[in-house]
């Protein structure tokens, strides 16, 4: 009889627990849960997972059963592959307060850099949408042989990330081929503030890292 009572109590306790679990108070929904990823994010995530799956299978053949060390090796290799897909990006931080001639004077050096490094990407970054008059002036110079020279972006996030309150400025970083700023190497960037030419910026850059010295010398020849 005592065992029967104990079993009944246990059974009742389980049922109460289940009911409480089913009717627990609702939790607030995080808005981030409903964010729709951009097409570029989806494509990059799929590509990353595809690489991870491929390398995991290769690692399984090489090492046999997975363990923490093997998975760490696989993940590290995938990350290296992702890093290899990044390209050099040069941000020229700009606004309508800077004379347009400061930008147009850079065109010959930009052309030369693209000859030396065809894959280098140059982006003129604005902190916000310019007024109509300035936009027309910018549109007029962004044509013909200059159309493929640089891109124009209006992106306050870039100004905020580098804590920029004054322009012009140059920034050299590395970003995914399918540009997505949040995936750029902001922590490994090189920033130089002030109205300077691309050659002068490369001079400062080469003094920080001599791997850029050769490009600097080639730019000087074109000066």
* 121-138 per-position pLDDT tens digit: 999 999 988 788 888 888
Query: Domain end: 63, 83, 103, which one?
Result: 83
Residues 209, 114, single domain; the answer is: yes
Residues 180, 70, single domain; the answer is: no
**Confidence at residue 157, expressed as pLDDT on a 0 to 100 scale:** 93
Query: Domain end: 66, 83, 100, which one?
Result: 83
Residues 64, 93, single domain; the answer is: no
Does residue 34 lie in a domain region? Answer: no
Closest-CA residue to 122 (of 162, 87, 154): 87
Does residue 91 lie in a domain region? Answer: yes
Instruction: Please report which confidence band the pLDDT of residue 59 belongs to, taking 50, 70 and 90 as the band edges.
Output: low
Alpha helical stretches, state H, the chain? 2-22, 39-63, 68-84, 100-104, 107-116, 132-141, 156-161, 198-208, 213-221
**Confidence at residue 36, expressed as pLDDT on a 0 to 100 scale:** 39
The first and second tokens of residue 102, run together, are 């400061």
Residues 166, 188, single domain; the answer is: yes
Residues 48, 158, single domain; the answer is: no
- 26 pLDDT higher than 50: no
Does residue 192 lie in a domain region? Answer: yes
**59 vs 78: CA distance, rounded Å:** 12
**Confidence at residue 5, expressed as pLDDT on a 0 to 100 scale:** 41
Does residue 14 lie in a domain region? Answer: no
Closest-CA residue to 155 (of 186, 193, 126, 176): 126
- 34 pLDDT higher than 80: no
Residues 94, 76, single domain; the answer is: no
Residues 159, 69, single domain; the answer is: no
Mean pLDDT of 8-28: 40
Residues 200, 184, single domain; the answer is: yes
> How many domains does the chain fold into?
2
Domain that holds residue 198: 86-221
CA–CA distances in Å: residue 135 to residues 82, 154, 213: 36, 12, 36
Average pLDDT, the chain: 75
Does residue 18 lie in a domain region? Answer: no
The first and second tokens of residue 223, run together, are 């000066």
pLDDT by residue (tens digit) across 79-128?
555 555 789 999 999 998 899 999 999 999 999 999 999 999 999 999 98
This prediction's pTM:
0.63
Beta bridge partners of 176: 86
Instruction: Please report which confidence band the pLDDT of residue 24 belongs to, taking 50, 70 and 90 as the band edges.
Output: very low
Residues 161, 193, single domain; the answer is: yes
- 213 pLDDT higher than 90: yes
When mean pLDDT is compared over 16-20, 98-102, 182-186, 204-208, the highest value belongs to 204-208
Residues 64, 110, single domain; the answer is: no
Residues 96, 167, single domain; the answer is: yes
Instruction: Please report which confidence band the pLDDT of residue 148 belongs to, taking 50, 70 and 90 as the band edges.
Output: confident
Residues 162, 200, single domain; the answer is: yes
**Confidence at residue 53, expressed as pLDDT on a 0 to 100 scale:** 61
């Amino acid at each position: 009889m005592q065992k029967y009572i104990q079993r009944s109590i246990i059974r009742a306790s389980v049922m109460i627990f289940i009911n409480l679990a089913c009717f627990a108070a609702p939790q607030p929904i995080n808005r981030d849960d409903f964010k729709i990823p951009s097409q570029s994010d989806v494509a990059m995530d799929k590509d990353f997972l595809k690489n991870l799956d491929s390398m995991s299978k290769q690692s399984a053949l090489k090492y046999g059963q997975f363990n923490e060390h093997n998975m760490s090796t696989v993940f590290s290799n995938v990350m290296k592959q992702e890093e290899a897909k990044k390209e050099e990006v040069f941000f020229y931080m700009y606004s309508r307060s800077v004379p347009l001639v400061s930008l147009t004077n850079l065109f010959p050096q930009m052309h030369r850099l693209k000859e030396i490094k065809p894959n280098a990407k140059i982006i003129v970054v604005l902190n916000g949408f310019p007024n109509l008059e300035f936009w027309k002036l910018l549109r007029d110079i962004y044509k013909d042989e200059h159309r493929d020279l640089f891109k124009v972006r209006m992106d306050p996030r870039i100004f905020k990330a580098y804590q920029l309150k004054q322009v012009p400025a140059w920034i050299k970083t590395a970003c995914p081929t399918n540009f997505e700023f949040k995936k750029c190497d902001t922590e490994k960037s090189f920033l130089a503030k002030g109205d300077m030419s691309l050659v002068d910026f490369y001079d400062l850059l080469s003094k920080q890292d001599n791997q850029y010295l050769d490009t600097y010398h080639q730019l000087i020849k074109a000066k």
